Structure formats: C-alpha cells, structure tokens
Amino acid sequence: MATIKFLRSAIYHLSASRLPATRTVLQQSALQTKIIVGPACHSAQIHTCQQRRAEIGRGNIHPSKLEKSSLAISKTLFEEATLAEVNKETFRKVVKTFTEYDKRRRGHIQFIETALRYMKDFRVEKDVDAYNALLDVFPKGKYVPENVIQSIYNHFPEQQICAIKVLQMMEDNTVLPNNETKDILISVFGKRAHPVKKYQRLMYWFPKFRNINPFPLPKELPTEPTKLSEIGLKRIAEYEAELKVYYLNGTTAESENAEFIANAQSPEQRELLAEHPPVRPLYVEGAFHLWLRSSKLTYFVLRGDPFALGDEGASDQDVPQTHAEGPVFAMCMTNSNSQETLQSWIKNLQEDNPHLARIPVIFNLFNLGESRTEPVRSLPTETQLIGDS
C-alpha cells in the first residue's frame, strides 16, 4: 500500500510539474491525499515567565535580550494584551510584535497554536483577517519543496500540521478563507502542500452547503427575548399566523426583564376554536424546545383533544385513534414557563377568542425526557380548569 502511495504521488508530482500553470483550483482538489492531523490542539506545551509577569505591573514591558531569544514568549504576549483591551486591533498588534521580535521568527508554531487558543478571548474567531495575519507569521519560501523527493515525503510536517490546524479552526467557526489566505499558503508551502489542499477543500464544500438550510435564520440573532421568540414563533407557526406580545405584571416593552407572552394564532385557528364544542376540554401542552442556532427557546401549545369534530363513531376504533393528536389552536413562548404565566396566556387569549371562556383547559406540562408510567391518554395529575365552570 505504501509503495502504491509512493508511486502515485511520485507520478503525480512529475505530471503536475509538466502541466500548464492555468489549472483551476477545483482540478487540484480532485486529487485525494490523506491529511495527517496531529494530536489534539491542546498538546502544545506553553511556558509562562513568572519574572516577566511581575514586571508588567511595574510598567516594564520591553522584552529583554534573553527573552527575545527564548521560546517562552507567546503566552506572555497574549496575557499582557488581555490585560489592556481585547479587540481585533490588539490581536493584530500582538501578532505584529511577535513578527518584529526576531528576524528568524523562532517558535512561530508555538506562537500560532497559542494564538488559536486566545482567538475567542479577543473575539476574532469569526474574522478572516485575523486568521490571515496568523498564517502570515510563517516565513515565506522556506517550506516550499524544491524537488520530487521533498514533495513526496511530508516537507516540514510540523509546520504543515500547524497551518492545517488554523484552517480547521476556520472551518469550525464557519469562516470562509479568501484569496489572501490562498496567496499566503502558496507562498509559504508551495502549490501542492497539504494546507493548500485543505484550503481547496474548504473553498469547494463551503459554498456548496452555505445556503441549503430551508429554514434560514438572520446572520446575527437578536439578544432580546421578545425578538428571539418572535423569530421562533414565525418559524414554527403557520404562514398566516398573527403574532401578539402580551406584557405581564405592569412591565412594558421598554422595561428590563419584561415578563411577556408571545402568542401566535392564525385566523383559521381562531375560527376552529370558535366552533370547538365546550364539552371537550383543551390541553396546554409543553414544554417543547426549539433551537435557533445555539439558543434554546421553550414553547407551549394549546391543543384540542384527539377526536375529530362531530365524529362520534371514531372513538370506538381504538388503536389508531388513541395516539392521534388534536388540532393546534395556538402557540406561545414566555420567559418564565410557569403555570401561572400560562394561565394568564389563556386569559389573554380570551380577548380574541371569547368562546374559549366556556371551554375547560387542562394543563398537561411535562418534560420530554422523563419516563412516563401512565398510559398515553390518561389525564395528567395536575389539572386546572379555567373559564366559567
């Protein structure tokens, strides 16, 4: 197997060097090689210089001659920068400081791996320029293979693995590389290196899957819970559903930590609810969860009982009917999820649906994960009737 691989890459190198220079990016990506991914990204040992830390407090931040030649500089640099201000500019400054320390850029792999860890702290993990600045730390031209043998064997493997880690981090944070990234990688590692291949793979697959989600969300999700639940309800409710936000306990839209109930109900649902026979109870079911990217919302559903309207004979056929679900009449999202809030939701719903006051409402609240011992159709232990009885 190894021989085949060897021969294949040898032939590839020879053939590739003879090809015209105008090969497209995608043609290159068609050739498959196995990426050698190193150990976990936290494997790099990072040293801290206690003496230097102590000097920061005294205002002496210029590196000594000894420190300039030592490998233990990278973490200290970032620690210092976090003391002042964390933004894109300081991150760039740290990278610049490192590149100017030493002409030979000693310890740059260690520096890049440390920088990858600090990216989140500097809030630059979504910023392609920051990644480009990091990749720019690699010295140019030094790692480009010059002959067939170097090309077949992994030329400067540690450096290539480090660059792949940077690209992997871009992938994890869904950052699309740009042309600058390509130019840097090619000038550092040459056209056929593994980081360049990784770049090509990213450029091939990322745009392919970028817009395939049929339920798209805005790029930046709002932080206010009312706005968030509005997006959530619009996603799960019918197209015609009307959204209404009720504020509770005297809070308003402007007040902080406003207690609210966001309600979604379509005109059709309102009509259905108006025809609901008062002898049949309605159920408030929940809590169900809805994820909008990484934020979890909770919603409740007002349902009818599972039997169809005016279909008396249907209740005799037991098997398929017992597990059916009733029609949905309304949905809501609140910030407190307590039964009291849900009761006031029903009260607020009665403004638009006067018929609801005559129907008993049963609160069927559960956690999805917990195991049930009761059969599916039994009434919940905690029942509460609202409306005139």
Partner 1 sequence: MSSCKSRLLLRCSVRYGLLPFISSRPPLACQRTGVSLLLCRHQQSDSSSNSSSSTDTSKKEPYSKFLTRNLKMWGGEIYDRLVCSNLDTMFDTTRSMWRFAGTDSFKDFQVLTDQDIGGQSWAKLEPSRNNKLLFHGNLCTTVPRDGETARSGYCSLKSKQQFVSFNRKKHMDLTPFNSLNLRLRGDGRAYMVNIMTEGYFTDYHDDIWSYFLFTRGGPYWQDVSIPFSKFFLSSRGRIQDRQAAVDLELVNAIGLTMADAIDGEFALEIDSIAASYDATHTEEFAYEMYHK
Where along the sequence are the contacts to partner 1 (CB under 8 A)?
A: 26-27, 29-33, 35, 37, 39-41, 43, 172, 197, 201, 205, 208-209, 212-215, 232, 235-237, 288-294, 296, 299, 301, 303, 323-325, 328, 331, 368-369, 371-372, 376
Nearer of residues 52 and 198 to partner 1, judged by Cβ: 198
Pairwise CA distance, residues 122 & 132, whole Å:
15
Minimum distance, C-beta of residue 358 to partner 1, in the bound complex (Å): 24
Nearer of residues 248 and 308 to partner 1, judged by Cβ: 308
Beta bridge partners of 296: 291
Nearer of residues 299 and 363 to partner 1, judged by Cβ: 299
> For residue 331, which phi and psi values (nearest 5 degrees)?
-135, 150
Pairwise CA distance, residues 344 & 166, whole Å:
52
Nearer of residues 70 and 154 to partner 1, judged by Cβ: 154
Pairwise CA distance, residues 157 & 155, whole Å:
6
Pairwise CA distance, residues 137 & 108, whole Å:
7
Minimum distance, C-beta of residue 256 to partner 1, in the bound complex (Å): 26
Its sign, for the CA torsion 142, 147, 151, 155, is negative
Minimum distance, C-beta of residue 30 to partner 1, in the bound complex (Å): 4
Minimum distance, C-beta of residue 200 to partner 1, in the bound complex (Å): 9
Distances (CA, A) of 202 to 139, 190, 207, 364: 23, 18, 8, 48
Nearer of residues 142 and 234 to partner 1, judged by Cβ: 234
Minimum distance, C-beta of residue 272 to partner 1, in the bound complex (Å): 14
- The strand pair at 282-292 and 361-365 is best described as parallel
Is residue 150 within a helix (H) or strand (E), and if so which, with residue range? helix 148-152
Nearer of residues 17 and 33 to partner 1, judged by Cβ: 33
Minimum distance, C-beta of residue 278 to partner 1, in the bound complex (Å): 23
